[in-house]
Amino acid sequence: MPAAFVDIYPLNFHSRGLSLIELLVVIAIAAILAFVADAAFQSTISGTRVRTEANNLLGDLEYARAEAVKRGLPVTACPSTDSLSCSGGFEWNSGWIVFTDPNANGVVDPGEVVLHLQAPVPGGNSFVLNNLVKSITFNRNGYAIGLPAGTQLTLHDRTANPALTRCLTISMVGLLAIQRAGGTCL
Chain centroid to Cα 71, Å, comes to 30
Helices and strands (H, E) in the chain, number of each type: 1, 9
Question: Residue 5: exposed, middle, or buried by beta-carbon count in 10 A (0-12, 13-18, 19+)?
Answer: exposed
Residue 183 has pLDDT above 50, yes or no: no
Ordered DSSP codes for 25-80 = HHHHHHHHHHHHHHHHHHHHHHHHHHHHHHHHHHHHHHHHHHHHHHHTS-EEEEE-
β-pairing, 75-79 vs 136-138, is antiparallel
Q: Identify the three-state secondary structure at position 137.
A: strand
Q: Is the pLDDT of residue 28 over 70?
A: yes
Cα(186)–Cα(169) distance, integer angstroms: 9
pTM value?
0.74
Q: What is the pLDDT of residue 5?
A: 58
Q: What are the structural domains of the chain?
A: 20-72+123-180 (3.55.40.10)
- What pLDDT sits at residue 47? 76
pLDDT digits (tens, 9 = 90+) for 104-153: 898 899 999 999 998 887 777 777 777 777 889 999 999 998 888 778 88
In the chain, the amino acid numbered 132 is L
Between 5 and 130, whose confidence is greater?
130
Nearest residue to 176 (alpha-carbon basis) of 158, 147, 163: 147
